[in-house]
């Protein structure tokens, strides 16, 4: 075993399967110097035995006292994974909630994104959004930036400096975009290549580039083709939007009359594979879902955004039945809230709404929503072997939650079990309950 440099003692809560949350009291997690979990022993029945083990480990591994963390009545959960967020749109979060997608893009979103040419403007918004994400326990985030290489690199630098794990995408759009916010095909391809190389050359394993065609309507065939090639050459992840809004779907049909479906458009340009994350996917046909499953493509479920922009409700059961990789996304600022806890709540409401409609849909439980926010997200970014829950060999991306924090939105009563308290945190908790945050073993300031 690698040497333990930090030891956590107390209650661990994480998902092991979709329906199964494990609550492990009287447990120990040991972290090695690379930020990897090197020791995990759970549910000591005898507290003396637990204390003996702490003593034994502290001598064997020479762990200083200040590196033994007694979590008391707090509990440890994995960091949240936001599989879809637009960092520049944080500027607008909580505003512009009155229009459907295509009008919303035109009136609110393109204008604000075009301002990121100005690095000062970008720095202000990007510092704030990364901080806000961390405050809300998001240890991994898939960000869309804007078309601007310099500002996109700045976002990568800010996330990197703050210690967040992030996929950063320079957005690509060379058609059907306003004059003040559009690129030529050539610039888009060259700039994306340059961006990918710059990010990779930084050598920070936590910060990865992700190829980001905004969505089919804003990318020419030539651009889509080039991005497909580049993503395959560099073996990067890919992110885009798919089947979010009915007008958008009709538009894609009119742009590609010869291609079977919106999903097939991405497939046609080699952008639909096991490294792709498609956001929304609200109105997919059975055939399209089947294609996604066949291609092992991931779906980012963004219920806050889908409600706010009146896009529609994804049927998560249909997706889960096909064993498609599924995670949660805030979709800032189509989604107005930066917290994955809020997304979990809306994912449950969205699922309940399917039950109202057909009487058969099995509503998502809070345990399942928690799975999607953690293990589900880790599968979406193909990092199931590294993050998402606590196992020896995985990176330590974790939150210490304090349900008793001052000014807490949670009231705990005498007979509440740990599971009740955990459920109260999922439904009522917020950033005031986050006591400490770790990413790859490193304590993060927020």
Give contact residues for ligand GUN (rule: CB under 6 A): 86, 101, 105, 109, 214-215, 241, 244, 305, 331, 334
Q: Applying CB under 5 A, what is the total number of residues that bind Fe ion?
A: 2
Q: Which one-letter DSSP state was computed for residue 332?
A: B
Sign of CA dihedral 147, 209, 160, 397: positive
Q: For residues 254-283, which are near Fe ion according to CB under 5 A? A: 279
Minimum distance from CB of 113 to ligand GUN (Å)? 8
CA-closest candidate to residue 208, choices 184, 174, 236: 236
Query: Per-residue string for binding with Fe ion, 305-334, x by CB under 5 A?
Result: --------------------------x---
Name the residue whose CB lies closest to ligand GUN: 334
Minimum distance from CB of 218 to Fe ion (Å)? 12
Q: Which residues contact 280 (CB under 8 A, 6 or more apart)?
A: 241, 242, 243, 244, 300, 301, 302, 305, 306, 311, 314, 331
Q: Decide which of Fe ion, ligand GUN, none touches 387; Cβ closer than 5 to 8 Å per partner kind.
A: none
Q: Decide which of ligand GUN, Fe ion, none touches 434; Cβ closer than 5 to 8 Å per partner kind.
A: none
Minimum distance from CB of 301 to ligand GUN (Å)? 12
Query: Per-residue string for binding with Fe ion, 82-121, x by CB under 5 A?
Result: ----------------------------------------
Cβ proximity to ligand GUN, 336 vs 370, nearer residue: 336
d(CA 225, CA 235) in angstroms, rounded, equals 15
Query: DSSP of 77-121, one letter per residue?
Result: EEPEEEEEEESGGGGGTTS--SS-HHHHIIIIIHHHHHGGGSHHH
CA-closest candidate to residue 207, choices 143, 148, 149, 147: 143
Q: What are phi and psi of 156, to 5 degrees?
A: -60, -40
Cβ proximity to ligand GUN, 101 vs 238, nearer residue: 101
Cβ proximity to ligand GUN, 244 vs 368, nearer residue: 244
d(CA 308, CA 98) in angstroms, rounded, equals 8
Q: Decide which of ligand GUN, Fe ion, none touches 101; Cβ closer than 5 to 8 Å per partner kind.
A: ligand GUN
Cβ proximity to ligand GUN, 11 vs 239, nearer residue: 239
Minimum distance from CB of 214 to ligand GUN (Å)? 5
Q: Which residues contact 190 (CB under 8 A, 6 or more apart)?
A: none
Minimum distance from CB of 244 to ligand GUN (Å)? 5
Would you call 228 helix, strand, or coil by DSSP?
Answer: helix
248 near Fe ion, judged by CB under 5 A: no
Q: Residue 62 half-sphere exposure, CB side, CA atoms within 13 Å? A: 3
Query: DSSP of 28-60, one letter per residue?
Result: EEEE-TTSBEEEEE---SSHHHHHHHHHHHHHH
Would you call 317 helix, strand, or coil by DSSP?
Answer: helix
Q: Decide which of Fe ion, ligand GUN, none touches 324; Cβ closer than 5 to 8 Å per partner kind.
A: none
Minimum distance from CB of 351 to Fe ion (Å)? 20
Minimum distance from CB of 178 to ligand GUN (Å)? 13
405 burial via Cβ count (<10 Å: 0-12, 13-18, 19+): middle
Minimum distance from CB of 215 to ligand GUN (Å)? 4
Cβ proximity to ligand GUN, 214 vs 337, nearer residue: 214
Q: List residues near Fe ion by CB under 5 A.
A: 279, 331
């Amino acid at each position: 075993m690698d040497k333990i440099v930090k030891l956590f003692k107390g209650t661990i809560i994480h998902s092991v399967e979709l329906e199964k949350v494990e609550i492990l009291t009287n447990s120990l997690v040991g972290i090695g110097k690379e930020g990897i979990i090197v020791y995990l022993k759970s549910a000591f029945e005898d507290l003396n035995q637990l204390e003996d083990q702490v003593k034994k480990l502290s001598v064997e591994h020479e762990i200083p006292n200040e590196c033994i963390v007694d979590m008391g009545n707090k509990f440890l959960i994995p960091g949240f994974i936001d599989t879809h967020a637009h960092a520049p749109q944080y500027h607008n979060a909580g505003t512009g909630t009155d229009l459907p997608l295509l009008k919303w893009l035109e009136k609110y979103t393109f204008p604000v994104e075009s301002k990121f040419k100005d690095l000062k403007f970008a720095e202000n918004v990007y510092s704030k959004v990364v901080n806000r994400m961390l405050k809300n326990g998001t240890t991994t985030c898939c960000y869309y930036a804007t078309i601007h290489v310099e500002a996109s690199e700045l976002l990568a630098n800010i996330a990197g400096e703050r210690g967040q794990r992030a996929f950063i995408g320079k957005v690509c759009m060379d058609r059907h975009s306003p004059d003040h916010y559009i690129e030529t095909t050539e610039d888009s391809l060259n700039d994306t290549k340059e961006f990918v190389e710059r990010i990779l050359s930084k050598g920070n394993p936590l910060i990865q580039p992700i190829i980001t065609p905004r969505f089919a309507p804003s990318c020419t065939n030539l651009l889509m083709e080039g991005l497909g090639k580049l993503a395959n050459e560099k073996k990067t992840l890919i992110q885009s939007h798919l089947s979010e809004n009915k007008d958008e779907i009709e538009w894609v049909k009119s742009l590609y009359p010869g291609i079977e479906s919106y999903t097939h458009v991405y497939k046609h340009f080699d952008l639909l594979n096991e490294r792709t994350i498609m956001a929304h996917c609200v109105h997919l046909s059975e055939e399209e879902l089947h294609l996604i499953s066949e291609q092992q493509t991931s779906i980012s479920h963004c219920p806050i955004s889908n409600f706010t922009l009146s896009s529609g409700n994804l049927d998560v059961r249909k997706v889960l039945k096909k064993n498609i990789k599924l995670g949660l996304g805030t979709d800032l600022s189509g989604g107005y809230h930066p917290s994955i806890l809020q997304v979990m709540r809306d994912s449950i409401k969205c699922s309940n709404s399917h039950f109202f409609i057909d009487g058969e849909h099995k509503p998502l439980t809070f345990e399942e929503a928690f799975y999607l926010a953690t293990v589900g997200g880790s599968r979406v970014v193909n990092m199931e072997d590294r993050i998402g829950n606590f196992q020896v060999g995985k990176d330590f991306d974790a939150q210490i939650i304090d349900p008793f924090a001052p000014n807490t939105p949670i009231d705990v009563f005498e007979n509440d079990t740990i599971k009740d308290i955990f459920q109260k945190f999922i439904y009522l908790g917020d950033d005031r309950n986050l006591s400490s945050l770790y990413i790859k073993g490193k304590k993060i300031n927020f």
